[in-house]
Structure 1
Amino acid sequence: MISLLVIIIIFAFIFDYINGFHDSANSIATIVSTKVLTPFQAVLWAALFNFSAFFISKYVIGGFGIADTIAKSVSIQKGDPLALYVILAGLLSAIIWNLITWWFGIPSSSSHALIGGLIGAAVAHYHTFSVVNASKVIPTISFIVAAPLIGMVIAFFITVIIVQLFKRSNPYRAERWFKRLQLVSSAAFSIGHGGNDAQKVMGLIGVAMVASNYIPDLKSIPDWVPLSCFLAMGVGTMSGGWKIVKTMGTRITKVTPLEGVAAETAGAITLFLTEHFKIPVSTTHTITGSIIGVGATKRLSAVRWGVTVSLLWAWILTIPISGIIAALIFYLIKVFL
């Protein structure tokens, strides 16, 4: 049982690493596309603030609420001999889906892949959807639509306000200032990204520890777990995800330094709000919506809606496909038990 727990923890850190390089584009796409930083400088910048989110979550916010939401998304029965295999199947499914979407340059949601994987494996094991905790899962699913919409609306108004405030400014001087401000907005978004995404794997490890009787409850998760999760994500972010950077930074709409500040600030605000309410959202969906909101201030045709519709389909399909993959993995595992 303990050896299987160790395997799950190792794969969880692998998932966090993949999540980091898969989602690094969220934090650095605009700052790279506007040439504020080189790609290497940008990933180091994002990774630093990804990791710093651990200290903000623990000592400023005072807890890891999103980890608790993920941990309670499905009812894993304590003492069930197959419980750890359910968690392992869900985790492997999320890793597979992340690698597939990364390969094709699709900015999909790591968190929704993880939730979909857990649901699919749990339903495959218990043969009922009653194991799904609707009070935790429904808000998460609703934010597939809500998070990008919130980011889009906030980004739209921030852009309009900034344009009105600086319309008489010297264009060269204004652009230089907004390039500097992008360092701040990118850092803020990276903090939101780390605080949101690193907690998801932390919650999954917590469930595995409880299921294996390593700890009595989720409140007893040792400090090395969240610290390691945030560190793994930071290292993953430093590895970059250049295919997705291209999609986010140039294919949705062309972004100027001013618009980069607006998009990242709107994304950061959305992530801070959802973390406050303990709702695990997709940082990918959030920043994509923010970039669309920025593009829409110029004209609706500035947004490449064909690319956007393709992304939307990937978002919708993430949970069911990762759920199906997890169910198949769980059944495959059972064959060898």
Structure 2
Amino acid sequence: MYKFVFSLLLSRLDAEQVHHATVGALALLSRAPVVKKVLHRRLAPRDPALRVEAFGVHFPGPLGLAAGFDKDAACAEGLAAFGFGHVEVGTITAHAQPGNARPRLFRLPRERALINRMGFNNGGAHAAARRLSRPRGVPVVVGVNIGKTKVVPESAAVDDYVTSAKELAPLADYLVVNVSSPNTPGLRDLQAVELLRPLLVAVKQVADGTPRRTPLLVKIAPDLSDEDVDAVADLALDLGLDGIIATNTTISRAGVSSRETGGLSGRPLKARSLEVLRRLRARVGDRITLVSAGGVENADDVWERLLAGATLVQGYTGMIYGGPLWASRIHRQLSRRLRLRGITSVREVVGRTAGSADTLGG
């Protein structure tokens, strides 16, 4: 049914308008206690075998929603009610900003991909903190992804991130430093270790100082060289970070016809995202939590990422093409797969084939 609605109606409408309408509807759902609780009981992952513990946080299932959809922390509970094991909100900046000029979001249905050059459009850290401080009506793990305000120069980037962290870290189940979006000028330069180290040290000091110590992760780009991936992995271990999210969108246009500028997500990113995950796993082993994002479309993709060493997996574009029940459907399929193999916990799968052939099958 969703495929029919998408091809007949949604694909003909402006992508950003559809996005705002969807977020608005989910925000209303988030404030409707009875409806969201009913949906949560029906659609959220409930199989104990799917439960994951990562950096001290308990997740009901391994598949979550990547940052970029709920930019202002407006609808995390509504998204959890549709079956996501966690919701990463943002990217949120210290100061409100409108983002880049429209049009800035483009569908590529043939390639099952999106291109966005949104530019961190959001209402700022203080406004997001007000929303995150509201009591949650249904269980939901909320990660908060923070980035640099566009008008802030690189020389002041550390203070800008620290401002966001002070507002949001106490309210987050985990915090993510985003230095990998291609849509804020100069942002990706911060992935260079000599610039990334002082930034992460400063934000980690804030995260470590919250009442429950907020876990800190860093999100990297798929366009880093292998040597830079290794350098970030080594830095994360050295600083005692809790995890790495790999990967953000890509500036590559390999395999797609569109030459619109911005970050490409979806199926064309699949191979490189998996390659980066495997390289990270080979570098860090199980000493740090790896979260895999990029090109995740179905249960086979989630299974492959788990086998390759990801403890958690994230999607976004897959939901756009798969519909509102996408996460719930994948969790049910993963549950059946575990049962068929006699596996009692998804944690038994993580890293099973890292560096070897897949012995657990598809």
Q: TM-score of the superposition, structure 1-length normalised?
A: 0.24
Q: TM-score of the superposition, structure 2-length normalised?
A: 0.23
User: Higher RCO, 1 or 2 (CA under 8 Å, sep at least 6)?
Assistant: 1
The structure carrying a bigger helix percent of its residues is 1
The structure carrying a bigger strand percent of its residues is 2
